[in-house]
Amino acid sequence: MESSNAYHNLHGESSKGFIGLGAENHHVPRDEVNKQLSQRTESFARDGSDEVKPSKKKGEKKIRKPRFAFQTRSQVDILDDGYRWRKYGQKAVKNNKFPRSYYRCTYQGCNVKKQVQRLTKDEAIVVTTYEGMHTHQIEKPTDNFEHILSQMQIYTPF
DNA sequence: CGACTTTGACCGGCGC
DNA sequence: GCGCCGGTCAAAGTCG
């Protein structure tokens, strides 16, 4: 409904949640996460693939699907951005020994997709690709990181 | 008990 | 027309 508003939302949310609080990840020690915070080198790139379907329905929806990828230097695959994600698939990619994970936002009416991929050459680099925009606020408990993340002003060019 | 992960199978598009 | 490929679904299983 609020498609135009949603885009504004995207901008607002972008500056809110980003680097995951891998602290809850028992797979990686906290120290690593802390290091990631100071060593993080994120790069965002907007993909030009707005329309996934060239021509399906006639006057359906000409809403372009925003898709941006983040390159984060982290040892954790799961970058919690403050939303709840449900993994719905995991496939191996050619030219890559590491599999790609597919996540989906588990919110009513929120069909935001996200996929995480690791680089073959650099295992330390995790590429997170977001597809779509959230139509709700972040559903995360006390996020101390939010304050820190608020300092990160990411602007989505369009 | 509820939410989420896992894994194999399935599907639609595309190339040959 | 068939095989390949990337992406998604769905049932079972796991965890808190």
Sheet holding A85-92, edge to edge: A43-46, A67-73, A125-131, A113-118, A99-105, A85-92
Whether the pLDDT of residue A3 is over 60: the answer is no
Provide the residue type at A73 as one letter. R
Q: A147 CA, C11 C1': separation in Å?
A: 41
How many alpha carbons fall within 13 Å on the CB side of residue A95? 1
Establish whether the CB of A100 is closer than 7 Å to any nucleic acid atom in strand C. yes
pTM beyond 0.85, yes or no: no
For A105-128, the pLDDT digits (tens) are 888 777 888 888 887 777 777 888
Q: A11 CA, C1 C1': separation in Å?
A: 48
pLDDT band at A158 (very low <50, low <70, confident <90, very high): very low
What pLDDT does residue A44 have? 62
Please, are residues A97 and A31 in contact by the beta-carbon 8 Å criterion? no
Residue count of chain A = 158
Whether the pLDDT of residue A56 is over 50: the answer is no
| Phi, psi angles (nearest 5°) of residue A5 | -70, -35
What pLDDT does residue A64 have? 56
Q: A121 CA, B16 C1': separation in Å?
A: 32
What pLDDT does residue A88 have? 92
Longest CA pairwise span in chain A (Å): 53
| Phi, psi angles (nearest 5°) of residue A107 | -130, 145
